[in-house]
Amino acid sequence: MNPIDHAFIALLRPFGGTEGLAHTSRLSVLACVIGLLILAFVFRRNGNKLKCLDMDGVPMKELGISSTSKTAMLFQPPLISKHGEKLAHDEPYIIRSGKHREVVLHTAEHVREFLRNDAKADRLLGQCVGALNGKKWRVVRSYFDPAYSHNASLVILPSFQNEVVKWLNTLKNDSLRTGVGRLVVHAPTSCKILPLRVIPQSFYGEAYDDDAYTKLVRVSQIQGQALKYAVTGRWQKYRWFNMLPTPSRRQLDRYHQDWQAFNLEMLETARKKGLAIPAENVFKGVQPDDAMSMDQYLQTIDEMIFTNIDITASVLAFMLSKLTKHPDFQQKLYEEIVAQKAEEGFNLNNYITRQTTLLHYLCLESVRLRPATWFSVPECTTIDKVIGRYKIPAQTPIIIDVRRLNTNALTWGPDGAEFRPERFASLSPNEYRYGYMRFGVVSGKCLGKHMAVVLMKVAIITVLERYKIEEVEMNIGVKDGDLAFIKRK
Ligand code: HEM
């Protein structure tokens, strides 16, 4: 998630005890509003007065984000990254939005210094696991982690395979422009369907049937609408505003109610049918002693499902489109799959787990060039440090420009921006330890990293076994992102 996503997540949080606000008297609402306005004014005055000087006392360069460029940061973060590059070249710089400032790092050297001797790091916002830190984070993760271990991902591999086959059949039925042995698939749209089927299934197990899928799609639309208010609304960034009985507040309340109802219904269905589902084990953490709060439970599932469906879908679509642009690599990968399957005693788990295959290199290269987010979640340093010759005081919020880190020529060579999966055959992971952000900085905090890899690999194997993927010539009715799936003989 990026820092902006976190701001949205914060906006989507329920505000305990305010649900009845719409029903309170006008006078008390007015008193509340006045009080909140005063508080908002006081808080607005406290931006962070970040100053980073180099050894000669020269301040770090600052990139100011106006409201226009804020929209660019949301919808075209690489553009902001390019502005930063133009401004500060190889040096770190400060990004300023209103009164808030964050230091942007973008080389392996910067990241190494950032992590050196640092008990890292304070997260800044929210209740979902991606926005927590310290003990709270460990508690929430201790309940979710077992459902997403490497082994757990391999256990659900057969059901992933079934879902991928079903997905391909749906594409066949849905595609309006099929020819003999040929499907035209709009990859960005079609790739969203698969994770929406598979990721929730990994959590709700067999309770997630067609009916639940339809309900989840409906909740996701309400969530999308609430998110839209948060993104485009002028006042929604102020916490006090979100406590007022506005249409956007009502939309948020509706989302929170529906999301909670959906999740409780999944648990109820599983209990009634006697199904052992991962959600039930995780829910044991929601105890009266508040080991994990209901908000943390619901928001972590929200992050897992809604945010990560989009991420996984866009990586999958990127992979497919790169395979069409690199037919030689596609052919070699296809041959690898056929050869693996022809081996005596072939075991799909082993092939999926191996890290020296073209299939694995494809996954590494795709996330390198199409990362989950273009800027990392802000984290604060806990001690003073020197990064790229600048003195960075403790408690400085830091974000990483993932686009630049993942393509930096010092780590990746002069063709760092190009798609060449085989580069990983001659690189040891130590060589890109600090220069590659895939599932998080260095260690990879992503809860779904094992599952995401299994899903991507199963999808690619299943598609390539059946189809050769080609570009579609631009013509009337052909959209950007359309790909031709040609049936193999
Ligand atoms: C190709 C697919 C994916 C990529 C590239 C990806 C990448 C990431 C990244 C970079 C982070 C931020 C880590 C950090 O803050 O240091 C993250 C966090 C997270 N991801 Fe993923 N992710 C993917 C798929 C998934 C899936 C399928 C799930 C579903 C379970 C998932 C669940 C999460 C959660 C819950 C977090 C927050 C973890 C925490 O901070 O404790 N991700 N992911």
What are φ and ψ of residue 409, in 5° steps?
A: -65, -30
Enumerate residues lining ligand 1, CB below 6 A: 129-130, 141, 148, 199, 300, 303-304, 308, 311-312, 315, 367, 372, 377, 439-441, 445-448, 451-452
The CATH code that applies to domain 3-46+117-371+406-487 is 1.10.630.10
27: tokens are 């006078």
Q: Are 123 and 379 in contact (CB under 8 A)?
A: yes
pLDDT at 96: 87
What are φ and ψ of residue 399, in 5° steps?
A: -125, 155
pLDDT tens digits along 343-385: 999 999 999 999 999 999 999 999 999 999 999 988 888 889 9
- In angstroms, what is the span from residue 157 Cα to ligand 1's centroid? 19
- In angstroms, what is the span from residue 203 Cα to ligand 1's centroid? 15
- Count of alpha carbons within 13 Å of 395, Cβ hemisphere only? 3
266: tokens are 């999944």
What are φ and ψ of residue 90, in 5° steps?
A: -85, -5
Q: Which residues contact 69 (CB under 8 A, 6 or more apart)?
A: 80, 83
Return the closest-CA partner of residue 307 out of 177, 126, 429, 96.
126
pLDDT at 149: 92
Q: Which residue ranges in the chain fall short of pLDDT 50?
A: 1-46, 121-126
- In angstroms, what is the span from residue 304 Cα to ligand 1's centroid? 7
The sign of the CA dihedral 410, 386, 399, 97 is negative
Return the closest-CA partner of residue 441 out of 467, 468, 413, 406.
406
pLDDT at 312: 95
pLDDT at 358: 98
Ligand 1 pocket: which of 308, 312, 456 to mutate (most atoms <8 Å of CB)?
Answer: 308
Return the closest-CA partner of residue 190 out of 14, 32, 341, 317.
317
Ligand 1 pocket: which of 138, 150, 439 to mutate (most atoms <8 Å of CB)?
Answer: 439
Q: Can you spell out the DSSP letters for 434-489?
A: TT--SSSSTT---TTHHHHHHHHHHHHHHHHHHEEEEE----TTPPTTEEEEEEP-
Look at ligand 1, atom 36, and give the residue with the nearest C-alpha.
446
Q: For residue 178, give Cα distances in angstroms to 78, 342, 483.
A: 35, 31, 12
pLDDT tens digits along 124-136: 444 555 556 677 7
